[in-house]
Amino acid sequence: MAHTFTRILIHLVFATKDRARLITPEVKPRLEGYMVGILTNLGVYLHKLNSVEDHCHLLVDLPATMALAELVNKLKSNSSRHMNETLGDSKFGWQRGYGGFSISQNHAAMVVGYIERQEEHHRGVTLKEELAQLLERYDFAGDPEFVGE
């Protein structure tokens, strides 16, 4: 699509299967490095990625040629397969679904900062509380499965 210009900033959030604390300090660099490689191969610009024990946050610029569902499917399926292959008997996996929130360019730096501070943020806020806050901030009705009720 020549002469097509888009800026589609998406804040992505998805959790490990059963919200298990699988993203240990030893696993995190391998997981995040592989996810960066997937995004690069797909032509997706990554602004920020940070994962904590049981979930990941990303800010990406979605290309005009790719659907969000396709991006998330490739990211989650390939990263979980890679982690299971490299960790051996591990049962690494992602929870069904994800949160994908569009943001304006004016808020990109704020979202990058939020993603950078996840470790600090989760000292006082659980994942369940964070997901409920995100749904409220982005004006969604709470989905009990997404929030974890």
Backbone phi and psi for residue 57, each to the nearest 5 degrees, phi listed first: -125, 140
Question: Among candidates 14, 27, 145, which has minimal Cα distance to 92?
Answer: 27
Per-residue pLDDT at 112: 96
Cα separation, 49 vs 34, in Å, equals 12
Query: Model-level pTM?
Result: 0.85
How many domains does the chain divide into?
1
Residue 147 within any structural domain of the chain: no
Residue 112 lies in a domain: yes
Give the tokens for residue 144.
Answer: 């009990």
Our measurement of the distance from residue 62's CA atom to the centroid of its chain's CA atoms, rounded to an integer in Å, reads 13
Kindly state whether residue 34 falls inside one of the protein's structural domains.
Answer: yes
CATH number for the domain that contains residue 18: 3.30.70.1290
For 89-147, how does the pLDDT look when each residue is reduced to its tens digit (9 = 90+)? Answer: 678 999 998 989 999 999 999 999 999 988 886 777 777 787 777 777 777 665 555 55
What is the domain extent for residue 103? 9-139
Helix (H, G, I), strand (E, B) or coil at 133: helix
